[in-house]
Chain A
Amino acid sequence: AFENRLAFRAQVRPLHGSGCGQQQEAVGMETRPETFSIFRTQENNPACQSEQHLGQYYTVPPSHFHTVFPHGLPPRYQQQVKTFNEGCVMVRQPALELISHLKRADYSKPTLRYLLYGVKGSGKTMSLCHAVHYFSKQGWLVLHIPDAHLWVKNCKELLPSSYHASRFDQPIQASNWLRNFRTTNEHFLSKIKLRQRYVWTKRESTEEGRPLGELVDMGVSHVKSSSDVVGAVLKELRLQAWGTEGGFRMAVAVGVNGLWGRTTLKKEEKSPVAPEELTLVHNLRKMINNDWCGGAVIATLSQTGSLYAPSSAYLPQELLGEEGFDSMDPFVPVPVSLYSEKEFESCYLYYLDRHWLQHPHSQTEEGKKELIFLSNRNPSVLERLCAFL
């Protein structure tokens, strides 16, 4: 019987992948669904989270995951989600602040703009995604632009725009974005009706009163005119913001500093392309201008993708440039800082719980101090550090 028990244990061990020798916990893990731990909270609705949940992780239900976040998550976080089989987000001060502002904002006035800024790797994109989750829970229409930098650099195809002679189109990026937009906002697409007639080519046009979904589908299928479709979609949404059906909107954008500044793209004559000459950028800028009401604009600055910016720059003024700053002005700045002690503690416990920290020394107090020192409580640095432990 003793040997049988040993053999059973030996079989159980690889199932749970716990190489740290925490046998009891491993067996326990299989059976428990969601036991209460210090760093986790049961409150999965961002609307109901408050200061008492600060520093705790909440799980995004897997069913929502792909609809809410088809794009826009930081790539390392996506890998982590795949590894851990669950998407856990930490409740942090900037996100809570943002959500509280949004709850109290008056939507009949011109849109408020919020800018998340902070040092590289401090969690701006994650806070943004937290806010996006909140919006989707509230039932808003989410206009999530993952990274304006994707549009401004490394583009292989530039077509001269059909709508406007001097502008350039980016068909691939536009169609990708439309596809993701469709995934996110399925239920809105049938509700919103077009107010204007759009002519794409001599043979194709979209009539007034057709649902937005049709427009989006058309944009996805006809790749050549997808950028103009994007422009049309944005215009419609702007006009119908304070809509009769109560369809609120907001625009969420990452890497807003890519909209101003320089691009790496070149015209055929090897002269550089200014951002205004790109259709997507142009339309997005119109969106960010607060001449419409009924929504909110949340933007983050991102240094990682930004072009021609020094790596130590993280303040809005430096990264946006003068032009960008003037256009974004006035805005509500929301600073995102590094982990506090409590947040670091909960992140550490989370990794321990998921058996991410395999090294036996990392589970001791000294190991924790080492981690604090080496990462200086920077979330992304800590994540990279723990990746090979």
Chain B
Amino acid sequence: MKCSNIVTQMQMLLLSTYFLFSPERRTANMAASGGRTVGSFLWKCGNCCFNFNTVSSNLTRQVLSRQLCVSAVLHRKNLAAAGPEKFSEEFIKKQVEEFNIGKRHLANMMGEDPETFTQGDINRSIAYLFPSGLFDKKAKPLMKHPDEVFPKQRAVQWGADGRPFHFLFYTGKQSYYSLMHDTFTKALAVEKHQDRLRGKDLFTQDAKQISLVGSRWLLKEELEELLVETISEHDYARFIQLMERLLSLPYCSVEEDFVQRYRRQLEIQSSKQQVQPLQYDQHGVAYSTGDGRRKTAMGTVLLRDSGSGSISINGTNYVHYFPVLQDREQLMFPLHFMEVLGRFDMQCSVSGGGHSSQAGALRLAISRAMLSFLSEGQVETMRQAGLLTPDPRIKERKKPGQEGARRKFTWKKR
């Protein structure tokens, strides 16, 4: 990505001034007016000495800069925000256009082909152009499609005369109730279909069923997102109940598309494991390596087949390295679980952390190294046993005003 010779320093400076707007300010007015002020600022600057050789005109500069600053500001996901809609439809449409144009400009800036510029490329370019030292991901500059940035909102629900469009508007949760209504209608339709078949004597119990394996119902949050309105847990439970009732009918496969719209596929976890192939050393003995981390300790293990169960850690015997029984049990767990206790020879090296975290790191390393020796089913059982999951717990940060991470200073009444 060749960029530095195209984007001059002045431009960078100007672009970076937009990030004086703090990400916490989330008012819509900000979005509308801020862009304008900034744009005007740039316009003035553009009249002064300022030359760059990109394809951008002043207008597009304004567009690009405004898009960036707006995107960084709006992060909340408040659906059906209380009150009238903050962003009108034309506004959103304009934002989309501006985003697309800005995307093309960014592609030109980076020297890439605008047609095949994906969101991943955008993210990388923005991270390159605006490097941020901030830790919080949400505080870093971002450029995303407005649909992802602006929360989904409902269009105005009533006409010019004040009459609502939807017949269920006065229930308060019109989309939810209309969905329930539709589902029940479909259930009734299926039952009618079944009665018709019974009448024609074509009714069979073993009709084709909808396959529900590997998928799950929408979560409450996902349903809320779909309906663009808030629902209570009770409502969600009723919805699931109704869908289950629909599914209990023998001929529900008629409405398969409708049902599948409200189900999500589950990802198969174990297919994410990368199993290294076995390596063979000069004597034909199979070996494999693995490494693991826990807290601050890092360990690597070289697992050799057809051994006698001897383990050496950093050159010393494991009984001497880990005098505590608990640590040795941690080392034993993966081997014992797979019942291969006396089969492997291990050479381990570990550094950092304390004795417990070193034992945990080695345990993970041993499990990972063992993967190459095991079959798919065994890998799955290991994953379910939790042997392949790195332990994410680390020391919690100490906060100011407190003595430790959680402990507060002694409270004195006076």
Partner of B332, one of A370, A378, A381: A370
Residue B168 at the A interface, CB < 8 A?
no
- Residues B288-337 near A (CB distance < 8 A): 309, 311, 316-320, 325, 328-329, 332, 335-336
- Residues A166-218 near B (CB distance < 8 A): none
Q: How far is A375 from B328 in the complex, measured between Cα atoms in Å?
A: 9
A311 contacts B320, C-beta separation under 8 Å: yes
B341 contacts A370, C-beta separation under 8 Å: yes
Partner of A374, one of B317, B325, B339, B342: B325
Enumerate chain B residues within 8 angstroms of A381, measured Cβ to Cβ. 319
Q: How far is A119 from B339 in the complex, measured between Cα atoms in Å?
A: 29
Enumerate chain B residues within 8 angstroms of A374, measured Cβ to Cβ. 325, 328-329, 332
B342 contacts A372, C-beta separation under 8 Å: yes
Residue A29 at the B interface, CB < 8 A?
no
Enumerate chain B residues within 8 angstroms of A312, measured Cβ to Cβ. 316, 320
Nearest Cβ on chain B to A342's Cβ, whole angstroms? 15
Enumerate chain A residues within 8 angstroms of B318, measured Cβ to Cβ. 376
Secondary structure dominating the interface of B: helix
Interface centre among B311, B341, B342, by most chain A C-beta atoms within 10 angstroms, is B341
Residue A269 at the B interface, CB < 8 A?
no
- Contact indicator per residue, chain A 351-382, by CB within 8 Å of chain B (1) or not (0): 00000000000000010011011111010010
Nearest Cβ on chain A to B25's Cβ, whole angstroms? 60
Residue A385 at the B interface, CB < 8 A?
yes
Partner of A372, one of B309, B316, B339: B309
| Given A374-B325, A374-B328, A374-B332, A369 contacting B319 (CB threshold 8 A) | no
Enumerate chain A residues within 8 angstroms of B316, measured Cβ to Cβ. 312
Q: How far is A374 from B342 in the complex, measured between Cα atoms in Å?
A: 12
How many of A's residues come within 8 Å of B, CB to CB? 15
Nearest Cβ on chain B to A344's Cβ, whole angstroms? 12
A376 contacts B319, C-beta separation under 8 Å: yes
Enumerate chain A residues within 8 angstroms of B317, measured Cβ to Cβ. 119, 376
| Given A373-B332, A385-B325, A378 contacting B342 (CB threshold 8 A) | no
Q: How far is A311 from B309 in the complex, measured between Cα atoms in Å?
A: 24
- Contact indicator per residue, chain B 119-151, by CB within 8 Å of chain A (1) or not (0): 000000000000000000000000000000000
Q: How far is A250 from B306 in the complex, measured between Cα atoms in Å?
A: 48
Q: How far is A376 from B310 in the complex, measured between Cα atoms in Å?
A: 8
Q: How far is A120 from B335 in the complex, measured between Cα atoms in Å?
A: 26
Nearest Cβ on chain A to B346's Cβ, whole angstroms? 11
- Residues B338-395 near A (CB distance < 8 A): 339, 341-342
Nearest Cβ on chain B to A39's Cβ, whole angstroms? 21
Q: How far is A344 from B339 in the complex, measured between Cα atoms in Å?
A: 20
Nearest Cβ on chain A to B118's Cβ, whole angstroms? 51
B339 contacts A366, C-beta separation under 8 Å: yes
Enumerate chain B residues within 8 angstroms of A120, measured Cβ to Cβ. 320
Partner of B319, one of A366, A370, A378: A378
- Residues A220-258 near B (CB distance < 8 A): none
Q: How far is A378 from B319 in the complex, measured between Cα atoms in Å?
A: 8
- Contact indicator per residue, chain A 100-125, by CB within 8 Å of chain B (1) or not (0): 00000000000000000001100000
Interface centre among A369, A381, A385, by most chain B C-beta atoms within 10 angstroms, is A369
Interface centre among A119, A312, A374, by most chain B C-beta atoms within 10 angstroms, is A374
Enumerate chain A residues within 8 angstroms of B325, measured Cβ to Cβ. 374, 385
Enumerate chain B residues within 8 angstroms of A375, measured Cβ to Cβ. 319
Enumerate chain B residues within 8 angstroms of A376, measured Cβ to Cβ. 311, 317-319
Nearest Cβ on chain B to A52's Cβ, whole angstroms? 26
Q: How far is A369 from B325 in the complex, measured between Cα atoms in Å?
A: 15
Enumerate chain A residues within 8 angstroms of B309, measured Cβ to Cβ. 372-373
Enumerate chain B residues within 8 angstroms of A370, measured Cβ to Cβ. 332, 336, 341
Nearest Cβ on chain B to A281's Cβ, whole angstroms? 30
Nearest CB in chain A to that of B319: its residue: A376
Q: How far is A385 from B323 in the complex, measured between Cα atoms in Å?
A: 12
Q: How far is A373 from B319 in the complex, measured between Cα atoms in Å?
A: 9
Nearest CB in chain A to that of B335: its residue: A373
Q: How far is A285 from B320 in the complex, measured between Cα atoms in Å?
A: 32
- Residues A316-365 near B (CB distance < 8 A): none
Enumerate chain A residues within 8 angstroms of B319, measured Cβ to Cβ. 375-376, 378, 381
Nearest CB in chain B to that of A314: its residue: B320
Q: How far is A372 from B310 in the complex, measured between Cα atoms in Å?
A: 10
Enumerate chain A residues within 8 angstroms of B328, measured Cβ to Cβ. 373-374
Nearest Cβ on chain A to B16's Cβ, whole angstroms? 58
Q: How far is A321 from B339 in the complex, measured between Cα atoms in Å?
A: 45
Enumerate chain A residues within 8 angstroms of B339, measured Cβ to Cβ. 366
Interface centre among B309, B320, B339, by most chain A C-beta atoms within 10 angstroms, is B320
Partner of A369, one of B311, B320, B329, B342: B342
Nearest CB in chain A to that of B309: its residue: A373
Nearest Cβ on chain B to A118's Cβ, whole angstroms? 13
Nearest CB in chain B to that of A374: its residue: B328
Q: How far is A378 from B317 in the complex, measured between Cα atoms in Å?
A: 11
Q: How far is A381 from B309 in the complex, measured between Cα atoms in Å?
A: 17
Enumerate chain A residues within 8 angstroms of B329, measured Cβ to Cβ. 374
Pairs A–B under 8 Å by Cβ, sample size 16: A119-B317, A119-B320, A311-B320, A312-B316, A366-B336, A366-B339, A366-B341, A369-B342, A370-B341, A374-B325, A374-B328, A374-B329, A376-B317, A376-B318, A376-B319, A378-B319
5 additional A-B residue pairs with CB within 8 Å, beyond A370-B341, A375-B319: A369-B336, A370-B332, A373-B335, A374-B325, A374-B328
Q: Which 10 A-B pairs have CB atoms at the shortest separation, nearest pair first?
A: A369-B341, A376-B319, A373-B332, A374-B328, A373-B341, A378-B319, A312-B320, A381-B319, A370-B336, A369-B342
